[in-house]
């Protein structure tokens, strides 16, 4: 059982662990401030220790079954019916997920994102996907441009597989580099018409777990995916 910053176990239940949320806020803000800022192939940040180690460990141990791709991949939207989010139901059921959601919902975190990345997150809502990718998964290059104002890809599991990071592109047909995949490491950027990223087809023989954190505008239609559908980030 992972422990909170005070040493107390992080358990599922009805209580909201505010102490854990504050620790997540601090870890993310410190990680973003110390991140490796790169301009190529597009402006992005590479983070380490994005969340406390106990939180990363707790997230990777969540008892969710990885979805079956059924031989179809290339876009996450192809499996919308089996995707999992830190939505109001999960936030109510899991204090760990609640702590993470409240940390990214906070004014402190929203301001850190805006200041570091120059992203306009005013009026945005929080969306967090718990992604579990299996062999056969790949993603065509895409930018996230549109209703997404901030993207954070935070890696959870496995360890010792740096080759499972996100692929970055100069253009849809021109690969540039790959972020290292390590538990607690992350890739962050403000979507633009240059932020081409994806996942090149390759076998990996495990479940690739990550959090996909977005700040999306009020035009986001799938309100059921939002962590706090009636609240803007920073509220």
DSSP state string for 123-170: T-EEEEEEEEE-TT--EEEE--TTTEEEEEEEEEE-SS-GGGSPEEEE
Is the pLDDT confidence value at 5 over 80? no
pLDDT of residue 17: 87
Structural domains in the chain, sorted by start? 18-225 (2.60.120.620)
| pTM summary value | 0.91
For residues 226-233, give the mean pLDDT: 97
Is the pLDDT assigned to residue 9 strictly greater than 90? no
Q: Could you report the per-residue pLDDT of 137-167, keeping only the tens digit for each?
A: 999 999 999 999 999 999 999 999 999 999 9
pLDDT band at 3 (very low <50, low <70, confident <90, very high): very low
Q: Are 221 and 147 in contact (CB under 8 A)?
A: no
Q: Tell me the pLDDT tens digit for each residue of 30-88.
A: 999 999 999 999 999 999 999 999 999 999 999 999 988 776 576 676 455 658 999 99
């Amino acid at each position: 059982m992972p422990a909170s910053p005070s040493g107390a176990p992080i358990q599922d239940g009805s209580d909201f662990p505010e102490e854990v949320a504050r620790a997540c806020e601090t870890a993310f803000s410190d990680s973003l401030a110390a991140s490796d800022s790169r301009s190529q192939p597009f402006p992005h940040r590479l983070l380490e220790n994005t969340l406390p180690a106990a939180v990363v460990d707790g997230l990777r141990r969540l008892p969710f079954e990885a979805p079956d791709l059924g031989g179809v991949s290339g876009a996450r939207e192809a499996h919308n019916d089996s995707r999992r989010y830190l939505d109001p139901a999960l936030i109510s059921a899991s204090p760990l997920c609640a702590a993470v959601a409240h940390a990214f919902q906070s004014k402190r975190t929203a301001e850190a994102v805006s200041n570091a990345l120059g992203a306009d997150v005013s009026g945005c809502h929080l969306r967090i996907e718990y992604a579990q990718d299996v062999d056969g998964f790949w993603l065509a290059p895409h930018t996230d441009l549109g209703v997404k104002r901030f993207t954070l890809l935070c890696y959870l599991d496995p360890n010792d597989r740096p080759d499972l990071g996100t692929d970055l592109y100069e253009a849809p047909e021109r690969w540039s580099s790959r972020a290292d995949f390590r538990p607690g490491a992350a890739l962050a950027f403000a979507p633009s018409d240059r932020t081409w990223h994806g996942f090149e087809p390759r076998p990996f023989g495990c479940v690739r777990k990550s959090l996909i954190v977005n700040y999306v505008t009020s035009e986001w239609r799938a309100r059921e995916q939002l962590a706090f559908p009636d609240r803007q980030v920073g509220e």
